[in-house]
Chains A and B, each alone.
Chain A
Amino acid sequence: MAVQVTNYTCPACTAPLQFSAETGKLQCEYCMSSFTVEEIELHYGEANAKAAEATPDAHAQTMYDELWGEDADKMRFYSCPACGAELICDETTAATSCPYCSNPTVVPGQFAGVRRPDYVIPFKLTKDDAMEALKNHCKGKVLLPKAFRTEHHVQEIKGVYVPFWLFDGEADADVKYTATRSTSIHRGDDEIITTHHYAIHRAGTVQFHGIPVDGSTKMPDEYMDAIEPYDYDELKPFAMAYLPGFLADKFDVDANKSFLRAQERIRNSAYDAMRDTVGFYETLIPISSHADISCGDTRYALMPVWMLNTKYKGKDYLFAVNGQTGKAVGALPVSWGRFWAWFAGISVGLASLASLLLLYM
Chain B
Amino acid sequence: MKKLLTMMTVLCLLFALRVPVFAAETPYIADHADLLTAEEEASLSLMMAEAALELDCGVYLATVESYLFYDTTPQKAAEALYIEQTMQGNVPRDGILLMLSMIERDYSLITYGEYAEAVFTDDVMWDMEDHFLHYFGQNEWYYGFSYYISDAISALVDFNMAAQEQYGDAYNGYYDPGVPEVVVRVNSIEPEIWLAVIGGSVAVAVIVCLVMKAGMRTARKATHADAYIPRGGVELRIKQDLFTHTTTRVIHHPKSNSSGGSSGGGGFRGHSGKF
- A residues with a Cβ closer than 8 A to B are 137, 141-144, 174, 179, 189-211, 220-223, 225-226, 228-229, 262, 264-266, 268-269, 272-273, 277-279, 318, 320, 328-334, 339, 342-344, 346-351, 354-355, 358-361
Contacts and interface: CB of A to CB of B under 8 A. Distances in A.
Contact of A204 (B218, B237, B254): B237
Contact of A329 (B218, B226, B250): B218
Q: Is the interface of B mostly helix, strand, loop or mixed?
A: mixed
A222 B220 contact: yes
Contacts of B198: 347, 351
Nearest to B226: A269
Contacts of A360: 180
Nearest to A140: B215
Given A191-B251, A342-B209, A197 B243 contact: yes
A232 to B, nearest CB: 10
Contact of B204 (A196, A226, A266, A347): A347
B249 A334 contact: no
Nearest to B207: A346
Interface in B228-242: 228-230, 233-242
A200 B236 CA distance: 13
Given A330-B219, A331-B217, A339-B209, A355 B226 contact: no
B41 to A, nearest CB: 39
18 contacts: A142-B212, A190-B251, A190-B253, A191-B252, A198-B243, A200-B241, A201-B240, A226-B218, A228-B227, A229-B227, A265-B225, A277-B236, A330-B219, A332-B216, A346-B208, A349-B201, A351-B201, A360-B180
Contacts of A193: 248-251
A361 B185 CA distance: 9
B5 interface: no
Nearest to A180: B247
A198 B212 CA distance: 41
B3 interface: no
B222 interface: yes
B239 A192 contact: no
A59 B219 CA distance: 44
Contact of A265 (B222, B244, B251): B222
Nearest to B204: A350
B228 A199 contact: no
Closest 6 CB pairs of A and B: A360-B180, A347-B205, A350-B201, A225-B222, A203-B238, A207-B233
Contacts of A328: 218
B24 to A, nearest CB: 39
A203 B215 contact: no
Contacts of A277: 234, 236, 239
Contact of A226 (B182, B205, B219, B229): B219
A199 B233 contact: no
A204 B189 CA distance: 60
Contacts of B237: 203-205
Contacts of A223: 219
A346 B253 contact: no
B177 interface: no
Given A226-B220, A342-B212, A195 B234 contact: no
Given A192-B248, A273-B234, A209 B228 contact: yes
Contacts of A204: 234-238
B60 to A, nearest CB: 27
Contacts of A343: 205-206, 209
B223 A201 contact: no
Given A189-B255, A225-B222, A360-B180, A350 B212 contact: no
B197 A358 contact: yes
B193 interface: yes
A359 B189 contact: yes
Contacts of B238: 174, 201-204
A323 B215 CA distance: 22
A339 B213 contact: yes
Contact of B225 (A205, A211, A344): A211
A141 B224 CA distance: 27
B197 A355 contact: yes
Among A143, A330, A351, chain B packs the most CB atoms within 10 A around the CB of A351
A199 to B, nearest CB: 5
Interface in B175-215: 180, 182, 186, 189, 193-194, 197-198, 200-202, 204-206, 208-209, 212-213, 215
A344 B201 CA distance: 10
A196 B243 contact: yes
Interface string B67-80: 00000000000000
